[in-house]
């Protein structure tokens, strides 16, 4: 692990904290050369699936590795200025990641991931949930938004994503 300040590779662990819920361990390190401190995160990971992006008509356009940071960012945008603690966001991202890992490498559609987010946000915050649904589903008029929300509220989307 290289020091982000001086690039030296030797560091000493000064603190270790485990977060069982996220299945990860955070370590505070001190560089042996310049003495600056930095943190590292160790996370257990199974094999994460490729995410399939689909175009109109459900045709697969491209596949890319699952990107936890990108997913978290897209959720954070929907949660902007809502009273949602960052830890709750991390839990949602962690829960989705755990579900993806349990697929044993079977690829997953970006839409299915989006629907997992929508289902999770629905439990957390109604405004963030509707924002995410509108952006993610690309709805363009109010009637379509209303229909989609009705559909989400009856649980059809959530079930089909499982
Ligand atoms: Zn250093």
How do beta strands 60-65 and 108-109 pair? Answer: unpaired
Residue of 73 and 140 predicted with greater confidence: 73
Task: Determine what percent of the chain is predicted with pLDDT higher than 90.
Answer: 38
How far apart are the CA of 31 and the centre of ligand 1, in A? 5
**Which two tokens mark 65?**
């590795």
Residue 3: inside a domain, yes or no? Answer: no
Name the average pLDDT for the chain.
84
Pair (85, 30) in one structural domain: no
**CA-based nearest residue to 26, from 14, 10, 11:** 14
Q: Answer yes or no: is pLDDT of 4 > 90.
A: yes
Question: Do 37 and 84 sit in the same domain of this protein?
Answer: no
At residue 76, the pLDDT reads 94
CA of 26 to the centre of ligand 1 (A): 19
Co-location of 122 and 95 in the same domain: yes
Residue 160 has a pLDDT of: 44
The CA 40 to ligand 1 mean position distance, Å, reads 14
Q: How far is the CA of 42 from the centre of ligand 1 (A)?
A: 20
Confidence of residue 23 (pLDDT cuts 50, 70, 90): low
- Distance in Å, CA 132 to ligand 1 centroid: 41
Same domain? 58 vs 23? no
Dump the DSSP string for 54-71.
E-GGG-EEEEEE--HHHH
Q: Are residues 18 and 67 in the same domain?
A: no
For residues 28-49, average pLDDT:
87
Residue 34 confidence (pLDDT): 97
pLDDT for the residue 162: 42
Percent of the chain residues topping a pLDDT of 70: 85
CA of 32 to the centre of ligand 1 (A): 7
Range of weakest confidence among 42-51, 93-102, 127-136: 42-51
- pLDDT tens digits, one per residue of 115-128: 899 889 988 988 89
- CA 11 to centroid of ligand 1, rounded, Å: 8
Residue 93: count other Cβ atoms within 10 Å of its Cβ.
Answer: 21
| Domains in the chain, number | 2
Q: What is the pLDDT of residue 44?
A: 67
**What is the residue-wise DSSP string for the chain?**
---TTT----EEEEEEEEETTTTEEEEEEEETTT--EEEEEEE---PPPEEEEE-GGG-EEEEEE--HHHHHHHHHHHTTTSS--HHHHHHHHHHHHHHHHTTTT--EEHHHHHHHHHHHHHHH-HHHHHHHHHHHHT--SHHHHHHHHHHHHTTHHHHHH-
The tens digit of pLDDT for each residue in 50-90 reads 898 877 776 778 888 889 999 999 999 999 999 999 899 99
pLDDT higher than threshold 60 for residue 161: no
Residue 128: domain span: 50-161
């Amino acid at each position: 692990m290289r020091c982000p300040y001086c690039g030296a590779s030797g560091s000493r662990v000064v603190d270790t904290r485990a977060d069982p819920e996220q299945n990860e361990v955070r370590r505070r390190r001190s560089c042996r050369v310049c003495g600056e401190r930095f943190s590292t995160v160790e996370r257990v990971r199974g094999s994460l699936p490729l995410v399939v992006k689909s175009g109109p008509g459900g045709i697969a356009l491209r596949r890319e590795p699952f990107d936890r940071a990108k997913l978290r960012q897209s959720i954070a945008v929907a949660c902007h200025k809502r009273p949602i603690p960052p830890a709750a966001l991390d839990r949602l991202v962690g829960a989705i990641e755990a579900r993806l890992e349990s697929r044993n490498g079977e690829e997953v559609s970006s839409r299915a991931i989006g629907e997992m987010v929508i289902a999770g946000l629905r439990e957390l915050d109604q405004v963030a949930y509707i924002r995410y649904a509108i952006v993610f589903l690309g709805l363009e008029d109010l009637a379509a938004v209303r229909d989609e929300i009705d559909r989400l509220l009856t649980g059809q989307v959530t079930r089909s994503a499982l």
